Amino acid sequence: MWRHFPHEADIGVHGSGESLERAFEEAAVAMTAVITDPDSVACRETVAVTCEAPDRELLLVDWLNALIYEMATRRMLFRHFKVEFEGTRLHGTACGEAIDRARHQPATEVKGATYTALTLFEDPPGMWHAQCVVDV
């Protein structure tokens, strides 16, 4: 359950789910959807991602920025994500494939996740939301 929200020249990414982990995973899907249709990305290679921050809000930005780094350096797009928390540390995986410009038709490049509109919250009963603005 992901969506975008407008923000001047950039775009907001929002993930929600029955757990905070799922909300982080869906925010990552929303970020992929800024670039291409996530359903066009096959799961061919899995990449491990670990990051740490003093709180979970900052961890969301670090998670998304770590994914941006992996996409840029590996020239990949990701579609399937798994997140686990261990205190202030996030252990995650991202599964995807090499960018195929003809098939994926990337619309833009995500340059970084920002602290703008950064928020994590829970709607009772048990629906978590994670969002921030990404720089495109």
Task: Specify the number of domains making up the chain.
Answer: 1
How far is residue 26's CA from residue 55's CA, in Å, rounded to a whole number?
Answer: 19
pLDDT of residue 9: 78
Where does residue 119 rank: exposed (0-12), middle (13-18), buried (19+ CB within 10 A)?
exposed
Q: Please tell me the predicted confidence (pLDDT) of residue 44.
A: 98
The predicted pLDDT at position 7 comes to 76
Q: Is 7 exposed, middle or buried (0-12, 13-18, 19+ CB in 10 A)?
A: middle
In a 10 Å sphere around its CB, with 0-12 CB exposed, 13-18 middle and 19+ buried, how is residue 108 labelled? exposed
What is the domain extent for residue 56? 2-135
Residue 92 sits at φ, ψ, to 5 deg, of -140, 165
What's the predicted TM-score (pTM) here? 0.95
Q: What is the mean pLDDT of each run of 10 residues along the chain (136 residues)?
A: 82 97 98 97 98 97 98 98 97 98 95 97 93 96
CB 92 within 8 A of CB 50: yes
Give me the pLDDT at residue 90, please.
98
Q: How far apart are CA 30 and CA 13, in angstroms?
A: 5
Query: Could you tell me where the DSSP H helices lie in 1-136?
Result: 20-35, 56-74, 101-104
Give the CATH number of the domain where residue 125 resides.
3.55.10.10
